[in-house]
Amino acid sequence: MKSLTINILILSFLLLASACQNNTEVVNVYSGRHYRADEEIFKRFTQETGIKVNLVKANSDQLINRLEMEGNLSPADLLITADAGRLIHAHNKGLLQAMHSNTVEDLVPAHLRDKDGYWTGFTQRARVVVYHKERVDPKELSTYEDLAHPKWEGRLLVRSSQSHYNQTLMAAMVAALGEDGASNWATKLVNNMARKPTGNDRDQVKAIAAGLGDIAIINTYYMGLLLNSSNQEEREIAGQMGLFFANQSDRGTHVNISGVGVTAHAANYDHAVRLIEFLLQEEAQSTFTEMNYEYPVHPNVEWPSVLQSWGKFSSDTLPLYQLGEHLNQGLIIFNKAGWE
């Protein structure tokens, strides 16, 4: 472990030295996202600004650990994650710095960004209930809380508690129900699971099609990817499913973000903020929605047809930064409930 840390620090120093020699016309990005849409947008950014994007991709937690080990030698200017909880975690560790951008404040709704400017969302994903059209009447569905009802025993599929998406959802449930209420919900939800949590969100949909369960909790963009897959079998599976937006009569559906923050030791602060603002422009936002089936944060960007087909919905507008105080409670609840 010690030798690994030393090697990372040496590599970071060399990358930083190289950036300085190139007169800083670069922006160094650590990203937990792995999408072709992102690379296309970074390419356009370079074409329009002349600023090269150096991209390092890995698991968000791996990147956060790397930032910690690198310290002030880190070459990273931006940290991108596919979950608000990871950005909150990075901020709490002192790995991000506040950014100042009128563009961010004008375009991004306040509940989708940190109140002090340490990070901002640039796309949205709704955490919804997907169901088999022939085995479930959508009139049976209503809220996240209702998924704990005995009528769903042996019918519910969901990925593990290690999923960042589920961790942030649980934090939202603690915020809505209190610790005791969320704990009770989680325990009953585990009792309703059709199998031990396994796989990603797409795997939950495939398991429904295979008859292992009838409903699942997933992010919307996974359904977009399945419906537009190059694999005919995946398209046919997705065609058997319906989407339901929970809690439309009260607080609204839980929405997470992909977001970005300027690192604490960013050497290219101005370029970093410029790239963030580029991600929020209409052209980039349209690319995210059309190629990756995510919801835009920009209010004027039209949704592609697949998102429109799911219909408009009300989202939970509790500020995501407030979920930070519930993340640890959520992990304890997962453990007590036996949600593996």
pLDDT digits (tens, 9 = 90+) for 87-120: 999 999 999 999 999 999 999 999 999 999 999 9
CA distances from 216 to 23, 200, 306 (A): 50, 11, 19
CA distances from 179 to 129, 175, 270, 335 (A): 23, 8, 41, 13
What proportion of the chain, given as a percentage, has pLDDT over 90? 93
CA distances from 276 to 2, 15, 92, 235, 254 (A): 34, 22, 21, 34, 24
The fourth-level CATH superfamily of domain 125-253+321-337 is: Periplasmic binding protein-like II (3.40.190.10)
Give the predicted TM-score (pTM) of the model.
0.90
**13 vs 310, which has greater pLDDT?**
310
The reply to whether domains 2-124+257-301 and 125-253+321-337 share a CATH topology is yes
Per-residue pLDDT tens over the stretch 148-167: 999 999 999 999 999 999 99
**Domain layout of the chain by residue ranges:** 2-124+257-301, 125-253+321-337
Q: How confident is the model at residue 175 (pLDDT cuts 50, 70, 90)?
A: very high
Per-residue pLDDT tens over the stretch 70-83: 999 999 999 999 99
The pLDDT of residue 93 is 97
The arithmetic mean of pLDDT across residues 210-226, rounded, is 96
Helix/strand/coil for 27? strand
CA distances from 66 to 4, 6, 30, 33, 277 (A): 11, 12, 10, 16, 25
Measure the CA dihedral 105/107/111/114, to 10°. Answer: -40
Mean pLDDT, the chain, rounded, equals 93
- For 144, phi then psi, to 5°, come to -60, -40
Arch. (CATH architecture) of 2-124+257-301 = 3-Layer(aba) Sandwich (3.40)
- For 121, phi then psi, to 5°, come to -80, 155
Tokens of 188: 């009953």
**CB atoms inside a 10 Å sphere around CB 134:** 9
DSSP for 34-75, please give it: --HHHHHHHHHHHHHH--EEEEEE--HHHHHHHHHHHGGG--
- Pairing assessment for the beta strands 78-81 and 255-263 based on DSSP bridges: antiparallel
Tokens of 125: 């994903």
Helix/strand/coil for 272? helix
Q: How confident is the model at residue 180 (pLDDT cuts 50, 70, 90)?
A: very high
> In whole angstroms, what is the distance from residue 96 CA to residue 321 CA?
14
The pLDDT of residue 15 is 53
Q: Is the confidence at residue 1, as pLDDT, over 60?
A: no
